[in-house]
Amino acid sequence: MREFLPTGALEEESMGNEIEDDDEMIGKYEIGKTLGEGTFAKVKYAKHVDTGASVAIKIIDKEKILKHKMVEQIKREISTMKLVKHPNIVQIYEVLASKTKIYIVLEYVTGGELFNKILNNGRLREDQSRKYFQQLIDAVDYCHSRGVYHRDLKPENLLLDAGGNLKISDFGLSALPQQFRADGLLHTTCGTPNYVAPEVIDDKGYAGATADLWSCGVILYVLMAGYLPFDESNLMTLYKKIHKADFTCPPWFSTAARRFILQILDPNPKTRVTVAQIRKTDWFKKGYTPAKFEQKDDINLDDIESVFSESTEHLLTEKNETKPTVMNAFELITLSNGLNLSGLFDTPEDPKKGATRFTSTKPPNEIIASIEEVAKPLGFDVQTRNFKMKMKGDKEGRKGHLSVATQVFEVAPSLFMVELHKANGDTLEYHSFYEDLSKGLKDVVWQSKAGTSVNAIPSKN
C-alpha cells in the first residue's frame, strides 16, 4: 500500500514567514473581508467597481507555489474550472496576476458549506438529501463528460447558493485526461481518507469516474445519517473497513435508499453502479429535474500561461493596506440574514462553522495585542502585521495543526468588528479554542448600555 496523500498534505508554511499586506484593489475589483484561507492561498470577498457584482477572489502566492513545485497543479486547477461550466459548479470568471500573486476571480456563493448545514442541523431528510445528491450527480457526470475527475468530493467542497442549490468547488486535486497512464488509469493516491474509494488506496491504478462515484455514495450516506460510514482514528483500521465496505445503514434509511447506497459503496469498482445506472433507479428519479444550461465549447486557456509569464506587460499594480479595512454597508448586509442587521454581531453558532465575529470600541492595536496576550498561553504561535493576525497551535490535532486567522475591520469611527476564522485544522477544535480565548477577552468586547453583549462569544456560565 502506498503512502496516502490527503488534501493539504503539503505542510503549512512556517509561521516564521511574515504576514504579507493584502491588496485594496485588484484590477477593477474592490477587496473586502477574508472568506477563507489555506496553506498557499486565501479567498477574499470582492466587488466589481463598475457593475457592483460580488465575486470571490482566490489569491495565490507565486513564491510559495514555485517553492513547492505546484505551478502545474495550479495551471491544472484553473484549466479544469474553465472547462466545466455547469449550474452546480462554482464558476471561474477570469484570471489576473501581479508580480507576486495570482488572482482567480470566482462566483461568490453565499450559502456556505453543505458540511456546516449537517454540522449545525444534523442529518437531512431523505427527500432533501436526494435533491442534493441529484445535483451532485448532474455536476459530476458533466465533469466526467469533459474529461475532468474531481478526486476530492466531500461535503466541505460542496457549497450552497442563496437558493439552496449545490455548487461543487475546489478542483485543486482534479485530474485531466493527460494524467492517465498508458493503462488508461490514474495512479496518484489523493483525496480525503474517509471519502476515498478502496481502489485509490491501492497502488494499482483506478478509474477517475468510479472513484468519484464512491465519494458521492459516502456523501449521500453522510447527508442521510449525519455521520460517516467509515470513521476510525487509526488509518489502517479505516482502510480495512473501506476495502471491505464494512458499514451498516441506520434504521431510518428507507429500504430503497439502503439498497441504492449499497450499490454505490461496492468495494469492487468493476461491479459498482455507474452514473447511467444511477439515473435509471426509481430512488434517484423521484422528483428529479435535470439541470438546464447552455454548453459552451469555446474555452480560452491562453490567460493561464500569461499569469506565470515573466513579462510585465499584463501584470497588475499592487497596493497595500495602511489601516484597518473599512467595511461598507453592502458588506455588512451580506453578513446578515436578509436585511435584518439586528443579529449581525450576535452569531452564537458561528464557532461551529469555523468563523466568529465580535465588536469592540477599543483601538485596533489594543484589540490585536489583547488577542495575542490570551492566545500565547493557550499554546499558539502568534504573528501580527497591519491589523491582521495568524495563530498556529503547537500541538497537532485530528486534522493537523489548528491555525486561526484574525482581521480587524472598521465599521464606524471608534467601532470595530473583529473576525476570526479557522485557516487550517479541525472545526470542533477551533470551537474549543475560541471558547478558551473568549474568557480572556471580556474587557475587549463591546457591551451595550443595557449590559447585553453584542458579540459572538458564547459562555458556558
Q: Comparing 6-15, 71-80, 92-101, 106-115, which segment has the lowest mean pLDDT? A: 6-15
More confident residue, 338 or 238: 238
Look at residue 70 in the predicted model and tell me its pLDDT: 79
**pLDDT at position 328 over 60:** no
Residue 282, Cβ density class (10 Å: 0-12 exposed, 13-18 middle, ≥19 buried): exposed
**pLDDT at position 57 over 60:** yes
Order of all β-strands in the sheet with 101-107: 25-26, 29-37, 41-48, 54-61, 101-107, 92-97
More confident residue, 373 or 295: 373
If DSSP codes are grouped into helix, strand and coil, which group holds residue 183? coil
pTM: 0.64
More confident residue, 432 or 298: 432
Does the annotation flag 64 for ligand binding?
no
Contact by Cβ (8 Å): 356, 456: yes
CA–CA distance, 127 with 424 (Å, rounded to integer): 33
Provide mean pLDDT across the span 419-427. 84
Look at residue 453 in the predicted model and tell me its pLDDT: 35
Look at residue 16 in the predicted model and tell me its pLDDT: 37
Question: What is the band of 374 on the pLDDT scale with cuts at 50, 70, 90?
Answer: very high
Look at residue 22 in the predicted model and tell me its pLDDT: 52
Structural domains in the chain, sorted by start: 114-285 (1.10.510.10), 323-461 (3.30.310.80)
More confident residue, 366 or 322: 366
Look at residue 178 in the predicted model and tell me its pLDDT: 63
CA–CA distance, 38 with 40 (Å, rounded to integer): 6
Look at residue 409 in the predicted model and tell me its pLDDT: 81
Question: What is the band of 11 on the pLDDT scale with cuts at 50, 70, 90?
Answer: very low
Provide mean pLDDT across the span 301-316. 59
**pLDDT at position 34 over 90:** no
**pLDDT at position 227 over 50:** yes
- Which residues are catalytically annotated? 152
Mean pLDDT score of the chain, rounded to an integer? 79
* 8 torsion bin: left (phi>0), alpha (psi -120 to 50), beta (else): left
Provide mean pLDDT across the span 396-411. 84
Query: What letter would DSSP give residue 202?
Result: S
Look at residue 17 in the predicted model and tell me its pLDDT: 37
More confident residue, 74 or 216: 216
pLDDT digits (tens, 9 = 90+) for 275-289: 999 999 999 999 999
Q: Comparing 35-39, 112-116, 250-254, 450-454, which segment has the lowest mean pLDDT? A: 450-454
More confident residue, 254 or 148: 254
Alpha carbon dihedral 278, 284, 288, 294, in 10-degree steps, equals -20
